Amino acid sequence: MAHNDIHTPVLLDRCVNLLAPALDGPGRVVIDATLGMGGHSEALLDRFPDVHLIGIDRDADALQIAEERLAPFGDRATFVKTEYDDIVGALEVAKVERLDGILFDLGVSSLQLDRAERGFSYSQDAPLDMRMDADSELTAEKVLATYSEADLRRIFHRYGEEKLAGRFARTIVDTRDEQPLRTSAQLVQLIDKATPAAVRRSGHPAKRVFQALRIEVNRELAVLESAIPSALDAIAVGGRIVVMSYQSLEDRIVKRAFHAASQSSAPAGLPVELPEHQAKFELLTRGAERASETEIAANPRATPVRLRAAERIRGKKL
């Protein structure tokens, strides 16, 4: 099956158009920090013939697919297997110093969701893996088998915003010695039994727990908290950053970082704002943009997306 048939990039035209003013010229460099299957990268390379693209992903399967997809662009693309907060390392691998644009398409990728054996989906039975990087040691099975009740409650509440975090954590700890949790079906069944009927009617009871486990296994929020400042620091004047988030915890981190970068850092009461205190970025979106009803109908995975973008307006002259 062709890549275009199994992967529809979210808000593709909007992302490309937002990055366009920063990439339309010779010697421009853009990073696709969450390369996935390369849909956004393909569009960027196709539209901007002078751009060099650096594709980052920690998933070896995704990198292989993207390399095949982007092979027609030859040496205009550099691929780096790393976490997306390693912006400086990726620039060093590509042997470039200038960064004009960067795109983050956060969360779990279509490739990871659609391959049942990866264990990301609560709707398909598979080993409780959930690793985006198959070389990492921590799996969802290990989290469920070794974390204390307090730690399980913490991650379900913090990363899944789960109201029944305590109940689920206690149930897992009470049953795991006699019935080790090794598959997604086992976990779904356990959560389902521990969920009151009235709560079950408000949505699948396993959704938030699976989200929390995935975030914990892959350190997603910790990586994001360092990735956004690193990206903002690396972008040249006139460069742009576009970030797509799929849940409120991610969007909160992005919103906070963008707000700080687009505000003056001058202490209150100063009669004149010194240049070093002036905002370095200008927001390009009013709040978080959402997908249109038309796009959601064509690509349901766009439903929860929240897009934010900003442009560097001073500092970092290259």
Looking at residue 125, what is its pLDDT? Answer: 86
Q: Binding site annotation covers 160?
A: no
Q: Tell me which fold the domain 125-218 belongs to.
A: DNA polymerase; domain 1 (1.10.150)
**Average of per-residue pLDDT values in the chain:** 90
Whether 264 shows a pLDDT value over 90: the answer reads: no
> Do 121 and 176 form a contact (C-beta atoms < 8 A)?
no
Residues of the chain with CATH 3.40.50.150: 3-111+220-312
Q: Binding site annotation covers 129?
A: no
In CATH, the number for domain 3-111+220-312 is 3.40.50.150
Q: Binding site annotation covers 84?
A: yes
> What is the tens place of the pLDDT at every residue in 174-209?
999 899 999 999 999 999 999 988 776 667 888 899
Q: What is the pLDDT averaged over residues 301-316?
A: 92
Q: Binding site annotation covers 112?
A: yes
| CA–CA gap between residue 115 and residue 111 (Å, rounded) | 6
| CA–CA gap between residue 22 and residue 268 (Å, rounded) | 33
Looking at residue 23, what is its pLDDT? Answer: 97
Instruction: Please state, in angstroms and as integers, the Cα–Cα distance from residue 141 to each residue in 138, 153, 170, 209, following that order.
Output: 8, 16, 16, 13
Residues of the chain with CATH 1.10.150.170: 125-218
Q: Binding site annotation covers 40?
A: yes
> Do 209 and 282 form a contact (C-beta atoms < 8 A)?
no
> What is the tens place of the pLDDT at every residue in 226-251?
999 999 999 999 999 999 999 999 99
